[in-house]
Homo-oligomer: A and B are copies of this chain.
Amino acid sequence: MDAIEVTDPRDPRLADYVGLRDVTLRKSLESEHGLFMAEGDKVIRRALRAGFEPRSLLLTERRREALGDLLDGVLDRGDAPVYIVSEEVAQGLVGFHLHRGALGSFHRRPLPAVGDVIEGARSVVVLEDIVDHTNVGAIFRSAAGLGVDAALLSPRCADPLYRRSVKVSMGSVFTLPYARMDDWREGLGALRERGLRILALTPGEDSVPIGDALAGDAGRPTALLLGTEGDGLSSRWLDQADARVRIPMAGRDVDSFNVTAAAAIACYELVRCSAREEPAAGAPSPPWASEDPVSVPPGA
């Protein structure tokens, strides 16, 4: 296949990319067509490395040359077209200036079952009703980076594959295994059946410092429940937890952390104190799915 130049933002072949900031439109379009969006070549490459199948790729003329390897790689697959558009067409199509110059539309895959995701996991984060896409993305980024084994979502949690979540997560939603409960009330039962200890992160007065709680039974597989920044965890989930834990605070007239910070610290302690297996080596990547030429060392 060759790349296809498109000059009309209303061209039906570009329908996957319409109105990216229109949340209502996008939610229905993406669920109807079973797709998700990856923005920027770094995140697109991660989706490819994670084995997601592209529906199509959109590049601006300005970035065509710089991203030639990505373009060729997708064309070589033979299963997805690459569209080239001007900056003006891109803006008219997606609704903002596409300064990264690359969008990928990908096929979703069926989510695994809860039991499959937590089988053998040493550390799991469980998100209850976190409806903010930014927060979901940020938590995934920290959890994946630190080495948490899996995530579970309550039925009402925001979609990790929504564009904003994908972007904030830097693509870590592709690699951190996750599943969605279909039952909120009994959703924690699967964790208990598999012997995971359940800790609820909450600033309540009867909570203990998270480091102490984890160190007390180090190495035991553990699930950590995280609630919303405002309302926190439901009383039902708090009651079902084995222990309530908090991040110790120092006073200074500060009474809470933001959810990204709290989740990062909690995941750090969770991984530090739970024995964990070495991360499995990823599937071999085709050369065109490689990172930027500059090597990116692991780290903060």
Q: Which residue of B lies closest to A174 (CB)?
A: B253
A146 to chain B, nearest CB (A): 6
Chain B residues with CB under 8 Å of A170's CB are 254, 256
Complex-state Cα separation, A211 to B250, whole angstroms: 20
Stretch touching chain B among A8-16, A105-113, A136-144, A184-192:
A136-144
One complex includes copies of this chain to the number of: 2
- State in angstroms the CA–CA spacing of A261 and B203 once bound together: 19
Query: By the criterion CB–CB under 8 Å, are A257 and B142 in contact?
Result: yes
Number of interface residues of A (CB under 8 A): 58
Assembly CA distance A249 to B174 (angstroms): 17
Q: Mark A63-86, 1 if CB is under 8 A from B, else 0.
A: 000000000000000000000000
Q: Which of B145, B210, B282 meets A249, CB within 8 Å?
A: B145
Q: Is A272 an interface residue (CB 8 A)?
A: yes
Complex-state Cα separation, A187 to B141, whole angstroms:
33
Is the beta-carbon distance between A250 and B264 smaller than 8 angstroms? no
> Which residues of B are found within 8 Å of A296, using beta-carbon distances?
203, 255-256
Q: Are B204 and A255 in contact (CB under 8 A)?
A: no
Those of A253-300 within 8 Å (CB) of chain B: 253-258, 260-266, 268, 271-272, 279, 282, 291, 296-300
The 10 lowest CB-CB distance pairs between A and B, nearest first, are A203-B299, A147-B250, A261-B264, A246-B299, A251-B279, A145-B254, A249-B298, A255-B296, A247-B300, A175-B252
Supply 5 further A-B pairs (C-beta < 8 A) apart from A145-B256, A207-B299: A145-B257, A203-B297, A203-B299, A204-B299, A249-B299
